[in-house]
Amino acid sequence: MTLSANSIPTRAEIPVEYTWDLSQIFADVPAWEQERSAVEARAQELAALQGTLAQGPAQLLAALTLRDEVAQRLHALYVYALHRKDSDGTDPVGQGLAERAGSFAARIQAVLAFIEPEILTIPAETLDEWLAATPGLQVYRYALEKLNRQRAHIRSAEVEQVMAALSDIVRAPYATFSMLTDADLQFPTIEDEQGQPVKLSHARYGRLLESHDRRVRRDAFKGYYSAFLPFRNTLATTLGAAIRSHVIEARLRNYGSALEAALAPNEIPVEVYHNLIATVEANLPRFHRYLTVRRRLMGLDDLHFYDLYVQPVPDVEMTIPYREACDLMREAFRPLGPEYGAALDQMFTRRWIDVYENVGKRSGAYSGGSYGTPPYILLNYQDRLRDVFTLAHELGHSLHSYFTRATQPFVYGEYTIFVAEVASTLNEALLTHYMLQSGADEALRRRLLAQQIEEIRGTIFRQTMFAAFELWMHEQAERGQPLTADALSQHYRELVVRYHGPELVIDDELAYEWLRIPHFYYQFYVYQYATGLSAALALSRQIINEGQPAVERYLRFLRSGSSRSSIDLLRDAGVDMTSPAPIQAAMDTFAELVSQLEQLAP
């Protein structure tokens, strides 16, 4: 299918074979309505079990089994409504379903909320006895043991009630940040490449930094930060309050630090975080060398931050129709074996992918579905090279979900954020390797190498710098030091200088980049981008070099969901994230790619 560059088709104008088939979840809206009523009734049956879980193993098993049934059916209701709305936001039926599904899900989740606190009232020794004596509970062993490990960090009922009552206040700093930066900031207008006025926005800022006109990039950079700077004291106050709330909650829950409190629920040792920062910082000279290579490739006398998001090599004009992209995926992922290939074919042939843009469709791309439904993908495919890599990325997510849900019971049918980007970025690495090995000309090779280098720069080096800043902020708060705008800006500038070295000109605005990063409110989140890509690069290299043994380990990982800790699952796959080795391997790969790009410099 070829789309017009001048008009966006309506949903009805998209050939049906390029749309996802949501009837594989529910035949129609009346079927959705019928299921909603049935789930409501089952949720009320579950609510009636409140207060009975400690009476014996049979009662506990009944509650857990019913909880999983209700949650699985609820997820399907929500996914159907969300996907229908996302495929055509102009459809009032889809809009209405999504609104109703959201409120219904919130109400049912409230019904489910009693289960874990009630389980924690059962003595640990009693739970162990029940697990040993009740075969039906065995499937929940890991989940119950994981919950059990949180006992030391659960406070009295009275304290828990107070903390729950304060939750909205604890979220207020981020809510204030979001309101200020999304609604109240007034951005200036600059001139685009043709001299036409363009009012800056968050989305336009990113696009303008990719402009090949350096004047446009500079004006966008300086104009964008000019909107934030008057609010630096306000945003220092909101960020400082968020950081202090993390520290206070960690202390209330008897953790040694805010870092430990953030990592413990997913059983991630704190050395994983420290290893990441230490290993990346030990390899910063390699990053500094890349910045020198990038400046030379761009023909610049000096390098500024606003030069880091434009392609350092000429773009390659390629038109890759969707069906050709599917064939490319089949070849690129052939090393993963016939079972993966068969699942891939299902993605392409069973209408699990919504391919093209239409009026009212959500922008971007994502992997969707839920346990018991197809692992749908939403795309806005436009025949570009970047669209091919987006398809590879989302296929990684969806096939991870496919293998997990086909193998695991519902309770382990999802995977943690720590491993979520492994399968997606591994697919991108395999696709890059295949295209580089398949007779790409020099221009395409330069483009592919630059693209992978930039992914490592943005995902490992940049996110690790963020992680280091986040750690410093929490440690300052734990020592009782103030997080003023001046203190935050001074330390952030020091990090930018350390990470980027002498090659980057440090514009004054860079010291204030922390003002605009929402992830700093998320409590030790961004490091997982860096560890995920590092694991993916290591696993992809094993698959390419070792063949079948590495493939078998990787498929076992895809099937495992959350049935064990993320660290254990990755270790079994062949990557020990408690060791610096995977991070160092990613740094070695980065250096090799930079050398290859330098050799191909025109």
Q: Give me the amino acid identity at 102.
A: G
The tens digit of pLDDT for each residue in 403-457 reads 999 999 999 999 999 999 999 999 999 999 999 999 889 999 999 999 999 999 9
pTM of this prediction? Answer: 0.93
Is residue 4 over pLDDT 60? no
The answer to whether residues 271 and 572 touch, using CB atoms and an 8 Å cutoff, is: no
The answer to whether residues 275 and 580 touch, using CB atoms and an 8 Å cutoff, is: yes
Name the token pair of 137: 């509970």
What's the mean pLDDT in 123-129? Answer: 95
The DSSP annotation for 277-342 comes to HHHHHHTHHHHHHHHHHHHHHHT-SSEEGGGSSS-SS--------HHHHHHHHHHHTGGG-HHHHH
Is residue 559 over pLDDT 90? yes
What letter does residue 522 receive in the DSSP assignment? S
The pLDDT value recorded for residue 317 is 83
The answer to whether residues 467 and 373 touch, using CB atoms and an 8 Å cutoff, is: no
Number of C-alpha atoms within 13 angstroms, CB side, residue 487? 12
What letter does residue 189 receive in the DSSP assignment? E
Cα 196 to chain center, whole Å?
Answer: 36
Dihedral (C-alpha) 477, 479, 480, 481: value to the nearest 10 degrees?
Answer: -70
Catalytic center residues: 394
Give dist(CA 390, CA 373) in Å, integer.
22
Is residue 151 over pLDDT 60? yes
What's the mean pLDDT in 565-585? Answer: 97
Nearest to 353 by CA among 326, 372, 370, 377: 377
The tens digit of pLDDT for each residue in 31-76 reads 999 999 999 999 999 999 999 999 999 999 999 999 999 999 999 9
The pLDDT value recorded for residue 163 is 83
The pLDDT value recorded for residue 6 is 62
pLDDT-derived band at 221 (thresholds 50, 70, 90) equals very high
The pLDDT value recorded for residue 160 is 82
What letter does residue 520 receive in the DSSP assignment? G
Give dist(CA 38, CA 496) in Å, integer.
55
Burial, 284: exposed, middle or buried (Cβ in 10 Å; 0-12, 13-18, 19+)? middle
The pLDDT value recorded for residue 166 is 84
Give the Cβ contact number of residue 37 at 10 Å: 10
Give dist(CA 303, CA 513) in Å, integer.
17
The tens digit of pLDDT for each residue in 303-316 reads 999 999 999 998 88
User: Cα–Cα distances in Å, from 450 out to 169, 307, 310, 311, 584?
Assistant: 44, 14, 11, 8, 20
- Our CA angle for 393, 399, 401, nearest 5°, is 110
Percent of the chain with pLDDT over 70: 99
What's the mean pLDDT in 107-112? Answer: 90
Give dist(CA 541, CA 402) in Å, integer.
23
What's the mean pLDDT in 200-218? Answer: 95
pLDDT-derived band at 2 (thresholds 50, 70, 90) equals low
| Locus of tokens 């800056």 | 200
The answer to whether residues 326 and 348 touch, using CB atoms and an 8 Å cutoff, is: yes
The tens digit of pLDDT for each residue in 60-72 reads 999 999 999 999 9
Give the Cβ contact number of residue 561 at 10 Å: 25
The pLDDT value recorded for residue 1 is 66
pLDDT mean across residues, the chain: 95
The answer to whether residues 118 and 54 touch, using CB atoms and an 8 Å cutoff, is: yes
Three-state DSSP at 455 gives helix
Is residue 492 over pLDDT 90? yes
Name the token pair of 531: 């560890």
What's the mean pLDDT in 117-125? Answer: 93
Query: What does DSSP say about strands 377-378 and 366-367: parallel, antiparallel, or unpaired?
Result: antiparallel
pLDDT-derived band at 229 (thresholds 50, 70, 90) equals very high
The answer to whether residues 78 and 370 touch, using CB atoms and an 8 Å cutoff, is: yes
Percent of the chain with pLDDT over 90: 91
The answer to whether residues 513 and 398 touch, using CB atoms and an 8 Å cutoff, is: no
The pLDDT value recorded for residue 5 is 53
Give dist(CA 229, CA 234) in Å, integer.
10
Give dist(CA 427, CA 391) in Å, integer.
9
The pLDDT value recorded for residue 168 is 83
The pLDDT value recorded for residue 314 is 86
What's the mean pLDDT in 260-279? Answer: 97
Largest Cα span, the chain = 76
Three-state DSSP at 376 gives coil
The pLDDT value recorded for residue 392 is 98
Q: Give me the amino acid identity at 149.
A: R
The tens digit of pLDDT for each residue in 352-410 reads 999 999 999 999 999 999 999 999 999 999 999 999 999 999 999 999 999 999 999 99
Give dist(CA 535, CA 422) in Å, integer.
6
The answer to whether residues 412 and 563 touch, using CB atoms and an 8 Å cutoff, is: yes
What's the mean pLDDT in 161-172? Answer: 85
The pLDDT value recorded for residue 561 is 98
For the chain, domains (ranges, CATH) are 11-154 (1.20.140.70)
Give dist(CA 361, CA 4) in Å, integer.
16
What's the mean pLDDT in 180-209? Answer: 94
pLDDT-derived band at 167 (thresholds 50, 70, 90) equals confident
The tens digit of pLDDT for each residue in 279-295 reads 999 999 999 999 999 99
The tens digit of pLDDT for each residue in 86-101 reads 999 999 999 999 999 9
First to last CA, the chain: 36
pLDDT-derived band at 3 (thresholds 50, 70, 90) equals low
